[in-house]
Chain A
């Protein structure tokens, strides 16, 4: 009886209508959540514009890009004999977009960056994000003037990679620390600390042959296949400008 009364009091229509300010607030926040904060992030990007990193690193980035291109060219020439048809690289056309990092979340339950360029500059979800040194991560969501990068170290990040020289393919799995885990697909892998890891030519989500990192520690006893810890070459904690395509 008392329970019934309580229920009736809880579901009282008048009481429900009387709490309309709360309903309004909750609805507004629910809409905000559904849009993943698009309006707020755009607002933040505009407000924080005077505090964006300066352009010195941007020029440094472009210089580093030329250097990296030369290295990549040398790499490709060396591999020309067993070069395979690289569809994903051909599909990934269009200019690189340079964007400033305006919010950084490197530690904690999730790892992401917020960039000061978005859909208006031509950034699409899923695009690869690189810094001098190599791949940083992928774009997870965009708003008109911001884009969010899911870093390789985030627990939900999965990227197909391979050892340089087509020696072993694997999956790069983030685990919240600064060194993601490389899980190889085959049992027999010749891998040593110091080996360079690049994005896989088989991957359809990231361009092939981007440098990802260097193998730092190898665990050949892991089951079902060997594992390795990777030191990423792109410094996500220090970079102020990144390039997106």
Chain B
């Protein structure tokens, strides 16, 4: 139920991103902001599968044929490894750093696909930096709250 509700919120954010939360016209990478806390709490396999699901959703909602599925699955798998980390992730800047690297890699995968298709986006660096900075800036806030939320629900953390 909670998963459904948060998925619905993600859907709304993808379709109608708020205008006040933008840097140089770019919104934060909502897919990254949703996937990061989920995979940190649920582990690599669930992270990768959720990455595929979110990637498919993201691809379905945009008109171009660029895909984000492989990179999001990879990121979900990677972030799932932090399940074993015995550090209080939600308190540190680690989440911001993970979101920063993740957004950078996601944008890099778009750039690679455009390059392979022989198309040019002259604003590529502009887009990448704006989105990466903004995502890393809001990630500690959004992601730590979601990490605490998922942990409260997850059976793994019951005691």
Contacts and interface: CB of A to CB of B under 8 A. Distances in A.
Interface size class of A (residues with CB under 8 A): 35 or more
Contacts of A150: 63-64
Contacts of B65: 156
B66 interface: yes
B64 A40 contact: no
Contacts of A108: 25-26, 127, 131
Given A29-B57, A40-B11, A177 B122 contact: yes
A22 interface: yes
Given A108-B26, A110-B66, A176-B122, A48 B56 contact: no
Interface string B63-96: 1111000000000000000000000000000000
B96 to A, nearest CB: 22
Main secondary structure of the interface of A (DSSP, over half): mixed
A191 to B, nearest CB: 21
Contacts of A22: 46, 49
Nearest to B69: A33
A198 B20 CA distance: 36
B111 to A, nearest CB: 8
B64 A176 contact: no
B119 A26 contact: no
A156 B64 contact: yes
Contacts of B9: none
Contacts of B25: 106-108
B66 A35 contact: no
A109 B26 contact: no
B153 to A, nearest CB: 16
A155 B60 contact: no
A68 interface: no
A230 to B, nearest CB: 13
B52 A29 contact: yes
B120 A155 contact: yes
A112 B60 contact: no
Contacts of B119: 155-156
Interface string A19-42: 000100110011011011100110
Which are the 8 A-B pairs with shortest beta-carbon distances? A37-B60, A176-B121, A110-B64, A107-B25, A29-B56, A112-B63, A33-B56, A155-B119
8 contacts: A33-B60, A36-B60, A108-B26, A110-B64, A156-B65, A175-B120, A175-B122, A176-B121
Given A109-B127, A156-B117, 5 more contacts: A33-B56, A155-B120, A156-B65, A156-B119, A176-B123
